[in-house]
Structure 1
Amino acid sequence: MAPKFGDLKRFCDKNGWIMVLNTDHWYYEKVLNDGTLLRTKISHAVSKEIPQNLWDRILRKQLHITEKDFWKGL
């Protein structure tokens, strides 16, 4: 099931991410226990599906989680 930008926003809101900016996108940050700062940005097009290649990068480079853990976090 392909996630939508609204799913990503809901995940961030429920899992300790802080919205730091709301302009053309929502910008979120989260500091991990080891001090690592994670950042992601989310399109306001909440009903639009995230393209697979972008979704893979978001999971790996921005959220640092697996897709399975993402869906558990919702």
Structure 2
Amino acid sequence: MPPKFGDLKRYCEKNGWVLVRSSDHWYYENVLAEGTVLRTKVSRAVHKEIPKQLWQRILKKQLKITEKEFWESL
């Protein structure tokens, strides 16, 4: 099942990401132990599915986790 933007928002809130800005999207940051800052933005259309290619980019470049790790952490 493809994730929805609501799943991504729930992931951020549950896993220590900090809401840094709220406008047309929610913007979250997470600082890793070695100092790397990860950033992602979440659409307010929480009921919509994240398109597959966008989801793959979010996992790889923003969250830096696998899809399995994402679902296990919810």
Q: Normalising by the residue count of structure 2, what TM-score does the alignment of the two structures yield?
A: 0.99
- Root-mean-square deviation (CA), in Å? 0.3
Q: Which residue of 1 aligns with 2:22?
A: 22
Q: CA deviation at 1:51?
A: 0.1
How many equivalent pairs are there?
A: 74
Q: Which runs of 5+ in 2 are unaligned?
A: none
Equivalent residue of 2:40, what SS?
strand
Read off the aligned partner of 2:51 and give its amino acid letter. P
Paired residue type of 2:8: L
**Off by >6 Å, runs of 4+ in structure 1:** none
Query: Unpaired runs of 5+ in structure 1?
Result: none
Q: Deviations over 1:19-60 (max 9, x none)?
A: 000000000000000100000000000000000000000000
